[in-house]
Amino acid sequence: MPDASAIVDQLVFGVVYGLLLGCVFALLAHGLNLIWGIAKVVNIAHGEFIMLGAYGAFFLNLSLGFNPLQSAAIDAVIGLAVGLAFYFGVLHRELRGKEAMTPRSEMVTLVATFGLSLLIANAAKIAWTGDLVGIPWSAGSVSLGSLRIPMGGVYVAILSVAIIFLTHVFFTRTHLGLAIRAYSQDIPAAQLQGINPTFVSAFGTSLGFAATMAGGAFLTVMFPTGINPYMGALYAPISYVIVVLGGPGKMWGSLVGGLTLGVILHVGQVFLDSSIAAAIAFLTLIPVLIFRPEGILR
């Protein structure tokens, strides 16, 4: 039976690691939330874009020696381009000229993004095989008493929160950001204000992809092995759960949801088998949906 101080040590570790991981999870969910909030599209291929971000970091490390923090910036730029391609290739035809998302459009975009997810995952499997790969990068650690904190985790946590914060500033303090928000709230009213719906919608969606792919790069710091074509199947559900926990469309909700899930996952493993801890983390969704369907944040 472990003594009380050992349990306290493990709990502290679980909370700290959970918070670090939660920040990265929050960024992944933030990307999904932006696309959901602005274009009103549930991107089933979200996990595959996380995977592309992780592979981007892997190949940039392999070919140019970039660490995942550097790669995340390049991934974000690629994400913007991918987002535009996604918008005009998949969404634009269905969304243009519409004043609101119709059930038919919802179904079309759901099926289209589902097909896209299969296409991307299998294309990745053909191109890069199903082998698990990872990035051998470590930024060292700092000791606080008996606790060793990985600096790589600290950096990606800070950067993840910074990206969410900057997005918040962009949407609340800039003309373009306010225009995107106006579009997401009322398309006809936004158009009456002279806002180009296609431009703001495409740009907002691209921001979501940039955040998602940068998050994929950060994920490789938290999980040093495990990049593979099907990793999206693990991280997409986590993103959906976080968005629902925090509240769909709520930017800071993603952070609250991510931190909650990260801490539950890590602290749960102190007492339980890791599979059971993961199941419990997902089960938290049920009371939230019953008692606070709008999410933890008001």
Does position 150 interact with another protein (CB under 8 A)? The reply is yes
Q: Which is nearer to another protein, 11 or 84 (CB)?
A: 11
* Contact region with another protein (CB under 8 A), list: 2-10, 115-123, 183-191, 247-255: 2-10
Q: Which is nearer to another protein, 196 or 274 (CB)?
A: 274
Q: Which is nearer to another protein, 79 or 153 (CB)?
A: 153
**Side-chain-facing half-sphere of 48: CA atoms under 13 Å:** 19
* Contact region with another protein (CB under 8 A), list: 22-30, 134-142, 160-168, 251-259: 134-142
CB of 136 to another protein, least distance (A): 6
Tell me the β-bridge partners of 150.
141
Angstrom distance (rounded) from CA 298 to CA 283: 21
CB of 131 to another protein, least distance (A): 4
- Compute how many other C-beta atoms are within 10 angstroms of the C-beta atom of residue 198: 15
Does position 282 interact with another protein (CB under 8 A)? The reply is no
Answer yes or no: are the C-beta atoms of 296 and 245 closer than 8 Å: yes
Give the count of residues interacting with another protein (CB under 8 A): 36
Does position 146 interact with another protein (CB under 8 A)? The reply is yes
Q: Which is nearer to another protein, 136 or 287 (CB)?
A: 136
Task: Show contacts of 96-103: CB within 8 Å, 24+ apart.
Answer: 96/197, 96/198, 98/187, 99/187, 99/188, 100/40, 100/187, 101/40, 101/41
Among residues 129, 172, 174, 185, the one that binds another protein under rule CB under 8 A: 129
> Structure tokens of 269?
């493993």
Angstrom distance (rounded) from CA 136 to CA 57: 11
Q: Which is nearer to another protein, 108 or 270 (CB)?
A: 270
Angle at 83 between CA 197 and CA 45, to 5 degrees: 115
Angstrom distance (rounded) from CA 97 to CA 13: 52
Among residues 81, 123, 225, 292, the one that binds another protein under rule CB under 8 A: 225
Answer yes or no: are the C-beta atoms of 150 and 141 closer than 8 Å: yes
CB of 214 to another protein, least distance (A): 19
Q: Which is nearer to another protein, 62 or 107 (CB)?
A: 62
Residue in 39, 54, 74, 44 with CA at minimum distance from that of residue 208: 39
Does position 258 interact with another protein (CB under 8 A)? The reply is no
- Angle of helix 4-39 relative to helix 232-246, nearest 10 degrees? 80
Among residues 65, 145, 175, 275, the one that binds another protein under rule CB under 8 A: 275
Q: Which is nearer to another protein, 230 or 252 (CB)?
A: 230
**Side-chain-facing half-sphere of 137: CA atoms under 13 Å:** 26
Among residues 19, 101, 178, 270, the one that binds another protein under rule CB under 8 A: 270
Q: How far is CA 218 from the centre of its chain?
A: 10
Answer yes or no: are the C-beta atoms of 221 and 43 closer than 8 Å: no
CB of 151 to another protein, least distance (A): 8
Does position 65 interact with another protein (CB under 8 A)? The reply is no
What does the binding site for another protein look like in residue numbers (CB under 8 A)? 2, 6, 9-10, 13-14, 17, 21, 129-132, 134, 136, 138, 140-141, 146, 148-153, 222-226, 234, 266, 269-270, 273-275
